[in-house]
Structure 1
């Protein structure tokens, strides 16, 4: 692929990245987690999905004439609530914050003035927002943060049958993995891949945050019902996210 059409930071030379910075390119940083995803999915779901969404968003921005570059994924985050299942890697907030700050600081020192922390793990959502704000204040560049399914808003609901947005190891995530990495799916375990549709006990409002061990909430490790997943839904979800988020990030008023 020619350098002028490449959107991945790691596939560009330093001189090519310097040119992107001089063109006021947006840096998109996918942020994820390495954690259990039920009996039917490999642990890298958030890494795969966050990276794919970021790259599809970047491709749409590039095709619209907006300079952009995507870093490799920050692959581990805050996943303490998944640890009891095993197979999970987690950081404390101080380490997670330090990693994100280091990435954003590096982008700033490389001459970039706009960064989007594009999160793909629910347990990171609040922390990513806090770190983004701190980076903006400290480094003097524009830093935005958001979780891809929150940014997609209502775009996922018409595609899904049994839920309206991303839950965990669910219809949505399983569908996207069927599209992106089918070898990560254990089809013989799909009959067991279902659980409650919420992590909140009765009476806990959506606006109240209290993390609980997923093992206490869902014996399968799944929130939602993956049995309704299809690859066609996965492709539709990825394209819906890319379209919506690219339109949002392409809004010049966001960066003014």
Structure 2
């Protein structure tokens, strides 16, 4: 791929990245986690999905003539609530914050003025928002943060049959993996891939946060029902998220 059309930071040379910085390119940093995703999905789901959406967003921005570059995914986050199942890597907040700040600081020192932290793991959502604000204050550049399924609002609901948005190892995430990395899906384990449709006990308001081990909530490790998943739904979800988030990031007032 020619350098002028390449969107991945790791595939560009330092002089090419310097030129992107001079052109005012937006840096998109996918942020994820490495953790259990039920009996039927590989542990890298959040990495694959966050990266897939980030690349989709960047391609749409680039095709509209807007300079953009996508960092490699920050692959580990806050996943203590999955540790009991095994197969999970987690950081504490101090380490997570330090990693994200190091990445954003590096982008700033490379000459970039705008960064989007695009999160793909529910356990990171609040932390990513806090760190984004701290980065902006400390480094003097514009830093936005958001979780991809929060950014799309209600747009995923018409695509899905058994839920309205992303849950965990669910219809949505399984569909996206079928589209993005089908070899990571264990089709023979799909009959087991279902669980409760909420992590909250009865009476806990949606706005109240209290993390619990998923082992206590769902024996399968799944929140939702993956049995309705399909690659076609996954393609539609990625396309929808990419389109909406690209449109949101073109809003000049966001970066003013």
Structure 1 length-normalised TM? 1.00
Q: Aligned equivalents of 1:118 and 1:87: distance in 2?
A: 24
Matched, 1:134 2:146: no
Match of 1:244 in 2: 244
Match of 1:98 in 2: 98
Q: Aligned equivalents of 1:178 and 1:111: distance in 2?
A: 37
1:155 to partner: Cα distance: 1.0
Query: Which stretches in structure 1 are left out of the alignment for 5+ residues?
Result: none
Match of 1:42 in 2: 42
Match of 2:204 in 1: 204
Matched, 1:87 2:87: yes
State the number of aligned residues: 256
Query: Which stretches in structure 2 are left out of the alignment for 5+ residues?
Result: none
1:152 to partner: Cα distance: 1.0
Match of 2:254 in 1: 254
1:153 to partner: Cα distance: 1.0
Q: Aligned equivalents of 1:173 and 1:53: distance in 2?
A: 12
Match of 1:113 in 2: 113
Q: CA RMSD in A?
A: 0.3
Match of 2:25 in 1: 25
Matched, 1:59 2:53: no
Match of 1:7 in 2: 7
Q: Aligned equivalents of 1:139 and 1:187: distance in 2?
A: 46
Q: Which aligned pairs between 1:73-84 and structure 2 lie closer than 5 A?
A: 73-84=73-84
Q: Aligned equivalents of 2:41 and 2:124: distance in 1?
A: 20
Q: Which aligned pairs between 1:187-202 and structure 2 lie closer than 5 A?
A: 187-202=187-202
- Give CA-to-partner distance per residue, 1:66-112, whole Å, 9 cap, x none: 10000000000000000000000000000000000000000000000
Structure 2 length-normalised TM? 1.00
- Give CA-to-partner distance per residue, 1:26-45, whole Å, 9 cap, x none: 00000000000000000000
Task: Describe the SS at the equivalent of 1:21.
Answer: helix
Q: Aligned equivalents of 2:245 and 2:101: distance in 1?
A: 23
- Give CA-to-partner distance per residue, 1:132-177, whole Å, 9 cap, x none: 0000000000000000000011110000000000000000000000
